[in-house]
């Protein structure tokens, strides 16, 4: 295994069909954002925020959340950043968000469902995002969306967050793009309903695979079954790329998997977001492949 290069320009590839392939980074810390910057990632395609809440007994206040997000965003100044709202569920209990026991947490109140059940926690996080992103090309992404109605409700809470900050004279990013993760098969199958409501879509292939193949992603005995290269998962990716009228990316682990990334490009995806350390290898692989199709 080669050591990770210190520096590089691994964010963009020109394909033989004239289109451009963009490599973005998934991050959850300032160190990862720094690696993403040094390796030339086009942007942050997924800033996960769960880490910040999991070890807290009480809800971190707006100042603390703003500060934590600002630190992660700083290295990627000048590049687009997609920050994801808290993706909590009964499988990762949070003291300040009592979801109750659930027999099937993966099918329960998680992601946006949980946020809509606790709108004050959601609004607080949105305010922190808007404040931290005030000098960034910020977008906000919602996890575990099922129906357009949920997105409409979330947009209302986001607008309210903006009004609250405005009334308080607090500097913040506005307007802001609001997008969804496509990780529930229903979203892939019914893109029409989201086209006029979502500003962008990002495929969460980890969960999309779990839900499409009815295969628990946390059960190692099912690892072989839960493969994003399954034709059913790829068909849903192809469908999203084809049916979406807004920008589409993919931010599940499959995007950084050398066996699967080329298949995703073949599905029509042109924006792959992955762990920063995956960038050099995926860049090299997909660049070689695009030059082969030239010959
Ligand atoms: C996914 O489901 O593919 C994803 C990127 O989100 P997470 O792995 O955080 O559920
Ligand atoms: Mg997910």
pLDDT, tens digit, 9 for 90 and up, residues 66-84: 999 999 999 999 999 999 9
Q: Which two tokens stand for residue 7?
A: 């520096």
- For ligand 1, atom 1: residue with the closest CA: 204
User: In angstroms, what is the span from residue 250 Cα to ligand 1's centroid?
Assistant: 10
Cβ distance 83 to 69 under 8 Å?
yes
Averaged pLDDT for residues 180-185: 98
pLDDT in tens, 253-276: 999 999 999 999 999 999 999 999
pLDDT of residue 92: 81
Averaged pLDDT for residues 56-66: 95
Q: Which two tokens stand for residue 49?
A: 């925020």
Could you please report the per-residue DSSP string of 96-122?
TB-----S-GGGSS-THHHHHHSHHHH
Pocket residue to mutate for ligand 1, from 87, 210, 233, most atoms within 8 A of Cβ: 87
User: In angstroms, what is the span from residue 168 Cα to ligand 2's centroid?
Assistant: 34
Averaged pLDDT for residues 92-97: 88
Pocket lined around ligand 1, Cβ cut-off 6 Å: 46, 48, 87, 183, 204-207, 251-252
Cβ distance 232 to 212 under 8 Å?
yes
In this predicted complex, what is the ipTM?
0.99
pLDDT of residue 57: 87
pLDDT in tens, 116-173: 999 999 999 999 999 999 999 999 999 999 999 999 999 999 999 999 999 999 999 9
User: In angstroms, what is the span from residue 134 Cα to ligand 1's centroid?
Assistant: 26
| Cα–Cα distance for residue pair 247/14, rounded to 1 Å | 18
pLDDT of residue 294: 43
Closest CA to 126 of 173, 196, 93: 173
Which residues are CB-neighbours of 158 under 8 A, at least 6 positions away?
Answer: 126, 140, 176, 178
Averaged pLDDT for residues 27-39: 98
pLDDT of residue 291: 67
Indicate whether 278 pLDDT > 60: yes
Q: Which two tokens stand for residue 277?
A: 């350390």
Averaged pLDDT for residues 56-71: 96
């Amino acid at each position: 295994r080669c050591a990770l290069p210190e520096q590089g320009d691994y964010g963009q590839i020109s394909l033989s069909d004239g289109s451009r392939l963009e490599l973005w980074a998934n991050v959850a810390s300032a160190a990862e954002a720094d690696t993403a910057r040094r390796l030339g990632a086009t942007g942050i395609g997924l800033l996960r925020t769960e880490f910040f809440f999991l070890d807290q007994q009480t809800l971190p206040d707006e100042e603390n959340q703003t500060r934590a997000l600002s630190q992660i965003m700083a290295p990627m100044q000048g590049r687009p950043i997609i920050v994801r709202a808290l993706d909590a569920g009964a499988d990762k209990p949070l003291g300040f968000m009592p979801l109750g026991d659930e027999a099937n947490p993966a099918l329960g109140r998680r992601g946006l469902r949980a946020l809509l059940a606790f709108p004050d926690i959601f609004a607080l996080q949105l305010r922190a995002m808007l404040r931290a992103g005030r000098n960034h090309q910020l977008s906000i992404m919602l996890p575990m969306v099922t129906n357009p109605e949920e997105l409409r409700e979330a947009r209302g809470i986001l607008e309210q967050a903006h009004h609250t900050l405005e009334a308080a004279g607090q500097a913040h990013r506005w307007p802001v793009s609001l997008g969804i993760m496509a990780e529930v098969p229903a979203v892939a199958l019914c893109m029409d309903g989201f086209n006029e409501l979502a500003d962008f879509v990002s495929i969460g292939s980890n969960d999309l695979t779990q839900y499409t193949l009815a295969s628990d992603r946390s059960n190692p005995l099912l690892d072989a079954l839960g493969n994003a290269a399954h034709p059913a998962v790829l068909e849903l990716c192809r469908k999203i790329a084809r049916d979406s009228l807004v920008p589409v990316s993919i931010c599940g682990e499959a995007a950084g998997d050398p066996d699967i990334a080329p298949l995703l490009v073949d599905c029509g995806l042109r924006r792959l977001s992955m762990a920063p350390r995956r960038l050099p290898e995926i860049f090299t692989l997909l660049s070689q492949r695009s030059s082969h199709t030239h010959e």
